Amino acid sequence: MPDMLKHDVLVIGSLNADLVVRAPHFPQPGETISGDDLQIIPGGKGANQAVAAARQGASVAMLGHVGKDSFGPFLLDSLRSNSVDTTHVSADESATGTAIIVVDASGQNSIVLSAGANGKVTPKDIETLNIEAKVLFLQLEIPLETVIHAAKWGKQKAMIVILNPAPARELPDELIANVDFILPNETELSLLTGVPVTDISSTERAARVLLKRGAKNVIVTLGSKGALVVSSQQATHVEAYKVDVVDTTAAGDAFIGGFASALLRGVEVEAAAQYANACGALAATKFGAQPSLPTKEEVEKFIK
């Protein structure tokens, strides 16, 4: 057997081309409107989180699928130019995953996701995977069956399993119980638990539902309010940094990359969430997904 490749982070997840058009308003059914020039930006929660961690200095590998269209090489190039190991990203006959995004004049967005090749990531891909990593990142833009399998596999291999339960949906306990850190935003937390999340105390209550269901730590990202770190012992609210927001796309992905890289440097959980807040804030000051993810140097300068 060839030598196992050792990485800090392995991401098993999605790669999407984000096709973004700014328009004065969202089109009504049957309406045609004119927007600005199309922007094609590398995205997908899996790939974004891979780049986020790599820009923070972690050595990162990604497992995923793209299609054989022109978006596939475009997404692979973006990962490679950020030093992400793409040996385990394969190209198949499906279309590459895309997100068709319209941004209106007020900055709100409306998104249609087309999973394409992301839908073809199967448990079999993981069985044949010859990789060692300290941390495993999972999200929900690949089939749920694969995510559940990956979490169990990661736990068996003693990896720290980090799940970002996005896009929002309900999840079985067999997944939640194999996760060391689950990082939902408020919408995702509410959908996962059925608890309406409106303020810090309802956020903590909902997070405790996930702890009861087997999660070891819950970190809820709260947008401009920062994050709430909840474990069985305590709950700590970590305040956000104040920034001029341009576009919050991938702020959550930047948070996860920053959080894991801080943990890998031996930083305690609350302090790692504080560092991650700086990563999320910086991502919110720039347009687009992967182009907005900050480097370690940028974050350290910002914190000073």
Which position among 86, 178, 248, 292 is part of the footprint of ligand ADP (CB under 6 A)? 248
Closest CA to 184 of 203, 198, 199, 159: 203
Instruction: Indicate whether 255 belongs to the interface with ligand ADP (CB under 6 A).
Output: yes
Tokens of 116: 């394409």
Is 125 considered catalytic here? no
Rounded to whole angstroms, how far apart are CA atoms 304 and 300?
Answer: 6
Query: Does residue 240 bind ligand ADP (CB under 6 A)?
Result: yes
Q: What is d(CA 75, CA 254) in angstroms, rounded to the nearest whole number?
A: 18
Q: In what order do the strands lie in the sheet with 109-114?
A: 39-43, 16-22, 97-103, 109-114
Stretch that binds ligand ADP, among 33-41, 115-123, 190-198, 250-258 (CB under 6 A): 250-258
Closest CB to ligand ADP among 135 and 219? Answer: 219
CA distance 66 to 85: 15
Torsion of CA 37, 50, 222, 25, to 10 degrees: 10
- Pick the binder of ligand ADP from 78, 203, 221, 292 (CB under 6 A): 221
Nearest distance, CB of residue 246 and ligand ADP, angstroms: 10
How far is 79 from 221, CA to CA, in rounded Å? 25
Using the rule CB under 6 A, which residue among 227, 229, 263, 289 binds ligand ADP?
227
Question: Which residue number, 102 or 131, has a Cβ lying nearer to ligand ADP?
Answer: 102
- How distant, in Å, are the alpha carbons of 12, 15, 33, 53, 97 from that of 70? 22, 13, 27, 26, 11
Shortest approach of ligand ADP to residue 17 CB, angstroms? 19
Q: Which stretch binds ligand ADP (CB under 6 A): 50-58, 92-100, 206-214, 221-229?
A: 221-229
Q: What is the C-alpha separation between 31 and 12, in angstroms, rounded?
A: 39
Nearest distance from C-beta of residue 271 to ligand ADP, angstroms: 14
In the chain, the amino acid numbered 189 is L
Min dist. Cβ of residue 125 to ligand ADP (A): 25
Reading the block at residue 162, the tokens are 């980090």
Of 14, 45, 21, nearest in space to 289 by CA = 45
Q: Is position 243 an interface residue for ligand ADP (rule: CB under 6 A)?
A: yes
d(CA 259, CA 289): 18
Tokens of 182: 């689950």
- Whole-angstrom distance, CA of residue 293 vs CA of residue 51: 8
- Is residue 228 involved in binding ligand ADP (CB under 6 A)? no
User: Per CB under 6 A, does 52 bind ligand ADP?
Assistant: no
**Per-position x/- string for 273-302, each x denoting binding to ligand ADP as judged by CB under 6 A, each - no binding:** ----x--xx--x------------------
Among 122, 224, 236, 295, binds ligand ADP (CB under 6 A): 224
Part of the chain binding ligand ADP (CB under 6 A), chosen from 19-27, 112-120, 248-256, 293-301: 248-256
Contact between 190 and ligand ADP (CB under 6 A)?
no
Catalytic residues: 253
Binding site for ligand ADP (CB under 6 A): 185, 221-224, 226-227, 240-241, 243, 245, 248, 251-252, 255, 277, 280-281, 284
